[in-house]
Amino acid sequence: MEQVAFYILAFLAIVSALFMITRINPVHSALWMLLTFFSVAGIFVQLDAEFIAAIQVLVYAGAILVLYLFVVILLNPKSHGFIKIPFRYALGTVVSIIIVIQVLFAVKTSNILGQKGDITDQLMAQHGNVKLFGKVLFTEYLVPFEIASILLLVAMIGAIVLAKKE
């Protein structure tokens, strides 16, 4: 039953992503993007990654989509249908996809991913994945977490300074 639900969510994510990039109206495109985000969040729930699913819904379906809609409303872009893509770009896209598939196959068949971690299913069931995620984040990865937060703060201040009218 879980496999059927996964295939339904994956099919829904792929189809809605295709509809998102092929719609002429940007608001319709945003609604298809919303469905894509919810489908991906459903896949994360099936992987027992409830925290990542919640972040997917809150950050992407909430904040990023609202930001996208504000840009669409404020700029009011006029779309005139599909953009004609030159042949060399289409050929480059096909070659890039083939190379990505080859790299993914090489990673899958080799031992490059390393060994499994020490967190078992029993430990996850006992403590919950959010608690374990927080414990690892604030012990082993505290310094990179703080550096990332400082970089985001600097970027936010920079965006405010650049957007401020003189």
Q: What is the rounded CA–CA span in Å between residue 62 and residue 54? A: 11
pLDDT higher than threshold 90 for residue 98: yes
Q: Which two tokens mark 11?
A: 């099919």
pLDDT confidence of residue 65? 87
What residue numbers bound the domain in which 136 lies? 116-166
Q: What is the rounded CA–CA span in Å between residue 100 and residue 119? A: 30
Domain end marker among 60, 83, 106: 83
Mean pLDDT over 104-108 rounds to: 84
pLDDT higher than threshold 60 for residue 82: no
71 and 127 together in one domain: no
pLDDT higher than threshold 90 for residue 15: yes
Residue 35: count of CB within 10 angstroms of its CB: 17
92 and 124 together in one domain: no
DSSP symbol at 64:
I
74 and 98 together in one domain: no
104 and 158 together in one domain: no
The residue to which tokens 């690892």 are assigned? 136
79 and 2 together in one domain: yes
73 and 96 together in one domain: no
Mean pLDDT over 93-112 rounds to: 86
41 and 64 together in one domain: yes
- Supply the CATH number for residue 12's domain: 1.20.120.1200
> Within the chain, what is the greatest distance between any pair of CA atoms?
60
pLDDT confidence of residue 161? 81
Residue 130: count of CB within 10 angstroms of its CB: 13
16 and 64 together in one domain: yes
pLDDT higher than threshold 90 for residue 129: no
Mean pLDDT over 101-128 rounds to: 78
pLDDT confidence of residue 33? 92
pLDDT higher than threshold 80 for residue 163: no
How many domains does the chain contain in total? 3
Q: What is the rounded CA–CA span in Å between residue 128 and residue 143? A: 24
pLDDT confidence of residue 37? 94
pTM score, two decimals?
0.60
pLDDT confidence of residue 165? 66
Q: What is the pLDDT of residues 58-76, one digit of tens each?
A: 988 888 888 888 877 777 6
69 and 95 together in one domain: no
Q: What is the rounded CA–CA span in Å between residue 105 and residue 98? A: 11
When comparing pLDDT for 75 and 38, which is higher?
38
126 and 148 together in one domain: yes
Residue 126: count of CB within 10 angstroms of its CB: 10
pLDDT higher than threshold 80 for residue 118: no
When comparing pLDDT for 3 and 24, which is higher?
3
Mean pLDDT over 11-15 rounds to: 95
73 and 3 together in one domain: yes
23 and 59 together in one domain: yes
